[in-house]
Amino acid sequence: MEIITDIQDMQQRCLAARGEGKRLAFVPTMGYLHEGHLSLLRAARAAGDVVVLSIFVNPTQFGAGEDFDSYPRDLSRDAEMARAVGTDWLFAPRASAMYPAGFSTWVEVEGLTGNLCGASRPGHFRGVTTVVCKLFNIVQPHVAFFGQKDFQQLAVIRRMSADLNLPVEVRGLPIVREADGLAMSSRNVKLTPDQRRQALALFDGIRLAAAQVKAGERDSRRVLAAVRERIQQEPEARIDYIQVCHDETLSDLETIGPHAVLLLAVRVGATRLIDNHHLGEEIPEP
């Protein structure tokens, strides 16, 4: 595996590989890899001739007061993990090269970004879509992989790719959970042992909601009230949002039907965690 930091070098290599008829499979990340990222890399390995992983903690998707500075970073650890699952090229550009002086072009998806994380983190998705569009232009992948834990992000990136006719197939892969159900996230390492225990309230809430729906409940308000009550039992949990939304439009649903997704964003201490579950599906097994 080679580590490439120069943008032009990365773009030239990718162009050359495409020219040789190779299929490029891409996994964009912010690093501090975990089993969820590795599942994306394994899928990329199966789907492409050349697997490209990007690691870039993108400053433009963090708002003022968010955790850009404290976001976990360890490139040599990540490189070992990426190499072990067959990554070919690890692209780790510098922020000053991605956003040089004078940078002033942004990619913004409207509509889908108005609710959920888009409402609670203004400007976040503008940063995400801008950097993903740049990364797609640099790597020029045939296929790119994203985790479904970032449900809204995946919908927004799909919309951007369709609207801008980007020649890349965007694939979403299922959430990978710890043995006790906590959705894997690079941010989980920031939890103290007690916060780590409290964070299980998100998965408990999902299980509760899924069980209610399985038993025939269709009123979102009642399901949301039960989830909220479970999460509020934890002393350090602060709900950012808990909503039932349509899986395509991401607008709120009063009645639970086949398109209903439960989406949660909860701060446990200083760490913001997100999770989701499609309410038409079976209760997730960790």
Q: Which residues are tagged catalytic? A: 37
How many other CB atoms are found less than 10 A from the CB of residue 140? 19
275 binds ligand PAF (CB under 6 A): no
CB of 117 to ligand PAF, least distance (A): 10
Residues 220-249 that bind ligand PAF (CB under 6 A): none
Going by DSSP bridges, is the β-strand pair 50-55/143-147 parallel, antiparallel, or unpaired? unpaired
Query: Of 142 and 149, which has the nearer Cβ to ligand PAF?
Result: 149
Both tokens of 118, joined, read 């888009």
Pick one of 79, 109, 117, 131: the residue that binds ligand PAF (CB under 6 A): 131
CA dist 260 → 68, 168, 176, 189, 201 (Å): 32, 27, 20, 30, 20
Pick one of 30, 50, 183, 210: the residue that binds ligand PAF (CB under 6 A): 30
What letter would DSSP give residue 225?
A: H
CB of 67 to ligand PAF, least distance (A): 13
- Taking the C-alpha atoms of residue 77 and residue 96, their distance in angstroms, rounded to an integer, is 23
113 binds ligand PAF (CB under 6 A): no
User: Binding segment for ligand PAF among 22-30, 69-77, 227-235, 256-264 (CB under 6 A)?
Assistant: 22-30
Total number of residues binding ligand PAF (CB under 6 A)?
10
128 binds ligand PAF (CB under 6 A): yes
- Taking the C-alpha atoms of residue 18 and residue 139, their distance in angstroms, rounded to an integer, is 10
Residues 46-65 that bind ligand PAF (CB under 6 A): 58, 61
132 binds ligand PAF (CB under 6 A): yes
Count of helices and strands (H, E) across the chain: 10, 9
Pick one of 10, 13, 17, 29: the residue that binds ligand PAF (CB under 6 A): 29
Is 121:153 a contact under the CB 8 Å cutoff? no
28 binds ligand PAF (CB under 6 A): yes
For residue 169, is it left (φ>0), alpha (ψ between -120 and 50) or beta? beta
Helix (H) or strand (E) holding 144: strand 143-147
CB of 58 to ligand PAF, least distance (A): 4
172 binds ligand PAF (CB under 6 A): no
Q: What are phi and psi of 230, to 5 degrees?
A: -65, -45
Query: Of 149 and 277, which has the nearer Cβ to ligand PAF?
Result: 149
- Taking the C-alpha atoms of residue 262 and residue 208, their distance in angstroms, rounded to an integer, is 11
CB of 141 to ligand PAF, least distance (A): 13
Interface contacts to ligand PAF, rule CB under 6 A: 28-30, 58, 61, 128, 131-132, 150, 153
